[in-house]
Chain A
Amino acid sequence: MTSPRIVVFSCQWAPHYALQSLYRRGRRGEGDAVRVLAACVGRVGEDVVLEAFRQGAEGVAVLGCPRELCRHGLDLDRFHARVETLRAIIETLGIPAERLLVAAFHPHEGEQLSACLEAFAASLEAPPEPAP
C-alpha cells in the first residue's frame, strides 16, 4: 500500500528547525510527503495550495510558526485570513476541508510535528465517511 500523496508547505523558520532537529537524529519528519520551503506561510496563497491539489495531492499541510515567533506578522495574518476561504473553495470542489491541514510548531516541537503529519496521513488513508 502506498502512502497518500501529501504536499507540505513549511515556513523556513520554526517548523523547518523542528524538522531539522529530527534530520539530525536520522529521521525524516515529513515521511514521504513532498516538502516545499516557504519564506513564510504568508507567501502560501490559494494559488499554490489549489495547484498542489490539481497536481494530484491528496492532502496539503501548511506549517507555520507560532504567532509570537513570526518574523513576517502581516504575511501570517494574511494567510490566516484566507484559510476559511480556501477551505470553502476546496469543499465546493468536492475535496473535504480536512484535506487541508494548517498548524504551527515551535522549533523544539519536531516530535509533535512528525506525529501531526503521521496522523494527517492516516486520516487520508481512512475510508471516506458514508454519505448521509
Chain B
Amino acid sequence: MSRAPEAARPPADDSSALRRDLADLARARSLRRCYDCGKCTSVCPVNLGGALYSPRRLGQMALEDPGPALQSALWDCLTCGACREICPVGVDFPGFVRDARALLPGDAIMRECSHGGALQTIQRLTAEPARQQRRLGWIPAGASCACEGETLLFTGSAPYYDRYFDYLGATTTAAPAAALRIMNRIGITPVLLEKERSSGHDLLFAGDVAGFRRLAQLNADAMRAAGVRRIVTTCAESYHVMAFHYRGAVPEFSLDVEHFATFLERELSGRTVEFAAVPGRVTYHDPCRLGRMSGVVDAPRRLLARIPGLELAEMRHHGAKALCCGTSAWVRCGATNKAIQLARLGEAAATGSEVLATACPKCVIHLRCAQADLPAGPRKSLALADITEILAQSLAPADAKT
C-alpha cells in the first residue's frame, strides 16, 4: 500500500565487508562450478517474464563484484528452483539467494517486500511468545478437532491471508477446512492449535533468519506441549520449510512432516472409500515449494485421478518443469511478476479446464490477483481452488455428516 517506487529506494549497502561476505557465500555455495552454459537463464521465469535476468550472470557477479547491482537483483529472484533443476553441475543459485538476503542490511526486508512488508510484520508479530492469537474461527461447525493428540493439522498464516486479501475474495482457510472434513470422514480427529504461529517460510526466504528461528522454536514448543508426533499441512511453503529447514533451526525437532496430499494418499491405501463424481476438467499447477523443491509431484495428480468424472489436463510446463506463480515469500511484485502470472493463467486456459487446482495458498492468491486486472475471457473465468477443496467436494461434502 505504501511501497516506495524503485527510484526512491536508498542504495544498497556497498561496504567492503558485505562484498566480502557475499563473495565468500558464493564460493561456499559452489557458484564457481558454473561453466556458463546459460540453461538457467533459458528457464528462469523472471527472464521469461520479460526482465533481463540471468542467474548465470548474477552468479559471476557474486564471485567477482557483489556490489549494489547484485544486491538489488537478489530480490528479483523467485527462488523457484527452476535454474537449479536444469543446471548440469548442480549450482544452487536459489539457495545462494536465500542465504545472501540474510547478509543484506536488516531494513532491506521492509524496502523490498511487497505490501510494504505487512505480511512479514504479521509473522514477526506472531513470533512474540506472549501473543494470544484468535486464529481458529474458521473451523466448520460440527467438525471434530482436538487440543492434544498425535496428528496436527497445521494452518500457518491462512487466517491472516483471509483477512489481508479480503479485497481479492481470498478464502485460504477453505483448504484446511476441507482437510479437516476429509480427516473426520476417514476417522481422524486432528489437533488444531490456537498457539500455532506462521511457519516462518517468508521470513527465512526474505533474509530474516532470526525471526524464522523464533517461529520454528515457538511452533516446536507448542507442538511438543500438545503431544504432536506428526504434522500435516495443506500449505506447500509450510510443508517445505518444516520438512527441510526446521531441523536446522530447532535441534530437537524430530516430528514427521507431510503435505496433505501424500498424507491422504497413504491413509486411503487399504481403505474402501467412495469418491463422489465431480464432473469437469481440471489442470494442476505444481507449487515450486512442493513439486520442484520437495519432490511431491505425483500424489496430488493420483488423488485427483481417483475422482470419477474429473479429467486432469496437463499444462505445457508441469511437474518439475512447472512455471512459477510469479512471486514467493511476498518479495518484490511488479510488472515482470504479473507477466509470469498471466503466462501461467494462459497455459492453464489453453488446456480447456474450468478449474486451475494447486496445493499452495499463495499460488491461489497471486493468480487471483492477476485475474483481477484481466478483461473477461478464458484466463479470467478459470476457477482457482486448492486440491483439498476439490477432494472434499468428492469425499466429504460440506452438507454431509462427518
Residue numbers of A with Cβ under 8 A of B are 43-48, 50-51, 53-54, 78, 81-82, 85, 88-89, 91-94
Contact A92 B160 (CB under 8 A): yes
Interface size on B, residues (CB 8 A): 24
Chain B interface main SS type: helix
A89 and B163 within 8 A (CB) = yes
Given known contacts A45-B1, A47-B1, A85-B164, A92 and B135 CB-to-CB distance under 8 angstroms: yes
B380 at the A/B interface (Cβ < 8 Å)? no
Query: Besides the contacts A51-B117, A88-B163, A93-B125, what 12 more A-B pairs have beta carbons closer than 8 Å?
Result: A45-B1, A45-B118, A46-B1, A47-B1, A50-B121, A50-B122, A51-B121, A54-B125, A85-B163, A85-B166, A88-B166, A92-B133
Interface centre among A51, A82, A93 (most CB of B within 10 A): A93
Residue B27, interface by CB 8 Å: no
Nearest-Cβ distance from residue A35 to partner chain B, whole angstroms: 18
B134 within 8 A of A: yes
Residues of A within 8 A of B115 (CB): 46-47
The complex places the Cα of A85 from the Cα of B135 at a distance, in Å, of 15
> Which residues of chain B are within 8 angstroms of A43 by Cβ–Cβ distance?
2
Are B160 and A89 within 8 A (Cβ)?
Answer: yes
Are B1 and A94 interface neighbours, CB within 8 A?
no
A46 and B118 form a contact (CB under 8 A) = yes
Q: What are the residues of chain B within 8 A of A88 when measuring CB–CB?
A: 163, 166
Minimum C-beta distance from B90 to chain A (A): 38
Task: Determine whether the beta carbon of A94 is less than 8 Å from that of B132.
Answer: yes
Cross-chain pairs A/B with CB under 8 angstroms, 10 sampled: A45-B2, A46-B1, A50-B125, A51-B117, A51-B121, A88-B163, A88-B166, A89-B160, A89-B163, A92-B133
- Picked from A45, A46, A51, A92, the residue with its CB within 8 Å of the CB of B134 is A92
Question: A92 vs B162: C-alpha distance in the bound complex, in angstroms?
Answer: 11
- Residues of B contacting A82 in the complex (Cβ-Cβ under 8 angstroms): 1
A47 and B131 form a contact (CB under 8 A): no
Please provide the 9 A-B residue pairs with the shortest distance between their CB atoms, ordered closest to farther. Answer: A47-B116, A45-B1, A47-B118, A94-B132, A50-B121, A88-B163, A45-B2, A46-B118, A89-B163
A47 near B125: Cβ-Cβ < 8 Å: no
Whether B233 is near chain A, meaning CB under 8 Å from some CB there, is: no
Chain B positions 105-150 with a Cβ under 8 Å from a chain A Cβ? 110, 115-118, 121-122, 124-126, 131-135, 137
Contact with A along B37-65 (1 / 0, CB 8 A): 00000000000000000000000000000
Q: Are A94 and B134 in contact (CB under 8 A)?
A: yes
Chain A residues near B118: list those with CB within 8 A: 45-47, 50
Q: Is the CB of B125 within 8 A of A53?
A: yes
Within 8 A of A (CB), among B1-50: 1-2
Q: How far is the CB of A13 from chain B (nearest CB, A)?
A: 18
The answer to whether A45 and B116 touch across the interface, beta carbons within 8 angstroms, is: yes
Which residue among B1, B133, B134, B166 has the maximum number of chain A CB atoms within 10 Å of its CB?
B1
Q: Is the CB of B2 within 8 A of A47?
A: yes
A73 vs B164: C-alpha distance when bound (angstroms): 23
CB distance from A43 to the nearest CB of B (A): 6
Separation of A43 and B159 alpha carbons in the complex (Å): 25
| Neighbouring B residues of A48 by C-beta, 8 Å | 2, 116
Question: Contact: A54 with B121, CB < 8 Å?
Answer: yes
* Residues of B204-251 whose CB lies within 8 A of A: none
Please give, as numbers and ranges, the residues of chain A lying within 8 Å of B163 by CB-CB distance. 85, 88-89, 92
B203 to chain A, nearest CB (A): 13
Q: Beta-carbon contacts of B340-375 to A below 8 Å, as 1s and 0s?
A: 000000000000000000000000000000000000
By the criterion CB–CB under 8 Å, are B117 and A46 in contact? no
